[in-house]
Structure 1
């Protein structure tokens, strides 16, 4: 069929692929819908935006498969307490050097300083920590530290900005750091926290800070830091988003703005320095346990949509207690963190995929990530999706002296792990033993001459039929005209 002569189509798929799943009744058909333009990007079926009706077909979320051991551990004196990824992006591929580059947060013991460290890899599995001789650690620069703040310079996200015309600002980062010393009374309530650190005791306010670099190694903090004061200490950034014609980031609004719990906020910037106040876009609702909070949500743009990795903080205090930022310190709390999968077409309106079940759960008791498993970044490699996550053997409010110790035969640590998923394999539509039907809404084809479907027919079959805008089969493209797969 010549696509230019019949640009408005609807697809009808019938499949009986995977047994033992309950079916879903078809939704009522909506006549004469406006056709949806279809690009060459792949549709992931994480929502029903293109689905007009489906019967005896359910959506199933697929969990990535964890690699048994972490890919990066804290084996240097300046990272003995913890190494982790916090937010995206954290990993880039350099096509010139043919290297994967990672920026991660680390801390020594006692916890009196955090660092941003740097590692490289040729295969994204085995990582090398080059001695950069850039930053001092206890009298020596023989380390892989690339940046450090006055006390805390943590949770960095790094982007390579291909649009940037200033070579000194090709690399940009957002981190959590102290602001310059100013009178505490000049800052809004809720931006201070107690610590054993002398700098903390001075009452210096906290905030999101920006740094620039020509190469990702030599960083210069922005002189006007912090650039955001009304956020918590977690964030991620997409970078420049062509859909918005702005830089897009996700921040945790202050407790004052969120009602005393951790939630997800959305912010944009024209220059990576001046950010809009974070708009709350996702927060726990009545279907969530009263103690659950949204710790962070790294977001990546993939196939034209937004994939979010929602960090679920299962605080689990006494259910009779009212939600409060102080609940994180209630003794006996579970305080585990795992990851749920979210999805959006516009970067703001997210749905939670998988019936709120963990996309990446914590490890079984006795494994290195038994207390914490939070996805921070993803790459596509070897026709797979590789997800890098922070794993901890302890819970959120752990006793810092526990990390590095052997408890019950297990060395408790915070490290960086890897989990793998088939390409585009976040979710799929499954039929049971009976024939399942998926009918798409009208779609508009322009230059495309092929419609492709990714299906597993090893335990069933797939049939296809094309319908016109009136839902009538198109002659020559009916179910009987196509070969059954």
Structure 2
């Protein structure tokens, strides 16, 4: 039986949970820029000009009842680490910390400075480490450094190479990931310069693993451009985060064209060691199509923060930095600002069916925990009015349950299913799917608890993003 946990959202971002499918197409969905508010932060302070160099992280902050962002600028050979706060995740202000008054000549939001140029820091939230619950990982002068903090504001940061996490041999633009429970819970995705040279590549993705965030225990190449990419594509960096049942990677593809530009492609992993690029290899996040015509601040490059997206309401909010130019661009101005883009919950990719040719997908078998089947889907034209036969409906999304031999379990067939005929996000991020018993009353999966089952989803003019099974315990946890 398959080792999936159906109480977590099971995404159709890859084929991992799929036994077989017919007449469906996977589509990658892009976050939508919040043009009404972008850019949300610009280099307005003297210690920020001319650019907000890197967006480090954005997390919900329970202490302030809102959100906190961390970012870095560069001034006079120093890297300047700053913070901003927001009540709603949209409007941001700079708090007066009074930590580095002498550096800026007055009140400021600077947490600390580092006496050299740093590259793409990452802040990790590590609540299991009660002594060092916040960690910052950054590259400087050939090495990666790890600092720590008790509150995310007052930092202890190593100042010399003898205290570095790595020695030379790795490139810049690395990002860190914390994977609690993994064999190596701390890791950095960076560039192995020796391996890249051996394969005549300039930029590809290497994984550095660590047991304790103090020393590196392994180094493995995980992603390289291949024959489908062509000679003008390099992997500039990859950030990654845990999302429900998977690790999602955001590969920054560097196109060495004229003018140069970059976009973001999705990758996925279950163990952080083996990564698969999501097919089709569509851009997940990219500069706007008409960016140069409209003079968009992010017309040359976009790069999400290496922290996980934040759920606000029924949307995943991706905070990113954008610039009018990119590496090697002769018009480069380093004028980076920060923006926000929103994605449907679980909305990285969907399996789509057309109106003319309904499709279906069957999952691999798993142990049923009982409870409610919750679907995240979108149905077009799902109006049953005047139809006696469900097959005549313009669009639908429904499910049936199979036993361990692949046979439909009585009472849980497509004919008993109460299908969905609308966008489930219209009634919340997901909607319950049930079956009707002989009395016409809805039935969930409680009677199938501890049985091995598989699910078969049937779609017409619809999109299916994910499913999960909500038990009473899950519902109580969500309510609290």
The TM-score with structure 1 as length reference comes to 0.76
SS of structure 1 residue aligned to 2:227: coil
Is the alpha carbon distance of 1:315 and 1:225 closer, same or farther for their aligned partners in structure 2, counting shifts above 3 Å?
farther
From 281, 300, 306, the equivalent of 1:371 is: 300
Map of 1:118-157 to 2, 5 A cutoff?
A: 118-135=83-100, 140-157=105-122
From 396, 402, 406, the equivalent of 1:471 is: 406
Quote the residue 2:477 is aligned against.
none
Deviates more, 1:460-469 or 1:392-401: 392-401
Quote the residue 1:77 is aligned against.
46
Q: Measure how far apart 1:349 and its partner are.
A: 2.0
5+ residue gaps, structure 2: 382-394, 421-480
Q: Measure how far apart 1:100 and its partner are.
A: 1.2
Quote the residue 2:363 is aligned against.
440
Q: Measure how far apart 1:428 and its partner are.
A: 0.8
Map of 1:214-229 to 2, 5 A cutoff?
A: 214-222=150-158, 224-229=162-167
Quote the residue 1:231 is aligned against.
170
Cα-to-partner distance string for 1:26-70 (whole Å, 9 max, x where unaligned): xxxxxxxx3444330011110111211111111111111012221
8 Å contact kept, 1:251–1:266: yes
Q: Measure how far apart 1:388 and its partner are.
A: 1.1
SS of structure 1 residue aligned to 2:68: strand
The number of equivalent residue pairs is: 393
Quote the residue 1:42 is aligned against.
9
8 Å contact kept, 1:391–1:416: yes
Quote the residue 1:286 is aligned against.
227
Map of 1:238-253 to 2, 5 A cutoff?
A: 238-244=177-183, 246-253=185-192
> Does residue 264 in structure 1 map to residue 205 in structure 2?
yes
| In structure 2, C-alpha distance between the alignment counterparts of 1:299 and 1:430, rounded to whole Å | 26
8 Å contact kept, 1:73–1:416: yes
Quote the residue 2:125 is aligned against.
160
8 Å contact kept, 2:196–2:202: no
From 340, 358, 374, the equivalent of 1:418 is: 340
From 136, 140, 145, the equivalent of 1:177 is: 140
8 Å contact kept, 2:179–2:242: no
8 Å contact kept, 1:390–1:414: yes
8 Å contact kept, 2:184–2:209: no
| In structure 2, C-alpha distance between the alignment counterparts of 1:84 and 1:39, rounded to whole Å | 40
Q: Measure how far apart 1:165 and its partner are.
A: 3.3
| In structure 2, C-alpha distance between the alignment counterparts of 1:338 and 1:255, rounded to whole Å | 25
Is the alpha carbon distance of 1:36 and 1:220 closer, same or farther for their aligned partners in structure 2, counting shifts above 3 Å?
closer
Is the alpha carbon distance of 1:353 and 1:135 closer, same or farther for their aligned partners in structure 2, counting shifts above 3 Å?
same
Quote the residue 1:347 is aligned against.
272
Deviates more, 1:427-436 or 1:209-218: 209-218
8 Å contact kept, 1:294–1:310: yes
Quote the residue 1:315 is aligned against.
256
8 Å contact kept, 2:165–2:213: no
SS of structure 1 residue aligned to 2:47: helix
8 Å contact kept, 1:70–1:417: yes
The TM-score with structure 2 as length reference comes to 0.77
SS of structure 1 residue aligned to 2:264: strand
Cα-to-partner distance string for 1:233-264 (whole Å, 9 max, x where unaligned): 21222224223362233222225555441111
Cα-to-partner distance string for 1:437-485 (whole Å, 9 max, x where unaligned): 112222221x322323222233301232222222222222222222344
| In structure 1, C-alpha distance between the alignment counterparts of 2:83 and 2:181, rounded to whole Å | 29
8 Å contact kept, 2:74–2:117: no
| In structure 1, C-alpha distance between the alignment counterparts of 2:4 and 2:278, rounded to whole Å | 24
| In structure 1, C-alpha distance between the alignment counterparts of 2:254 and 2:279, rounded to whole Å | 17
Which fold has the larger relative contact order, with Cα–Cα distance below 8 Å and residues 6 or more apart in sequence? 1
Cα-to-partner distance string for 1:287-336 (whole Å, 9 max, x where unaligned): 112121111111010102111111011123xxxxxxxxxxxxxxxx4321
| In structure 1, C-alpha distance between the alignment counterparts of 2:179 and 2:415, rounded to whole Å | 47
Quote the residue 1:93 is aligned against.
60
| In structure 2, C-alpha distance between the alignment counterparts of 1:143 and 1:112, rounded to whole Å | 19
8 Å contact kept, 1:103–1:156: no
Q: Measure how far apart 1:391 and its partner are.
A: 0.3
| In structure 2, C-alpha distance between the alignment counterparts of 1:255 and 1:83, rounded to whole Å | 31
**Cα RMSD over matched residues?**
2.2
More strand by share: 2
8 Å contact kept, 2:145–2:164: yes
Q: Measure how far apart 1:421 and its partner are.
A: 0.5
| In structure 2, C-alpha distance between the alignment counterparts of 1:369 and 1:160, rounded to whole Å | 28
| In structure 2, C-alpha distance between the alignment counterparts of 1:448 and 1:357, rounded to whole Å | 36
SS of structure 1 residue aligned to 2:415: helix
> Does residue 386 in structure 1 map to residue 317 in structure 2?
yes
> Does residue 336 in structure 1 map to residue 261 in structure 2?
yes
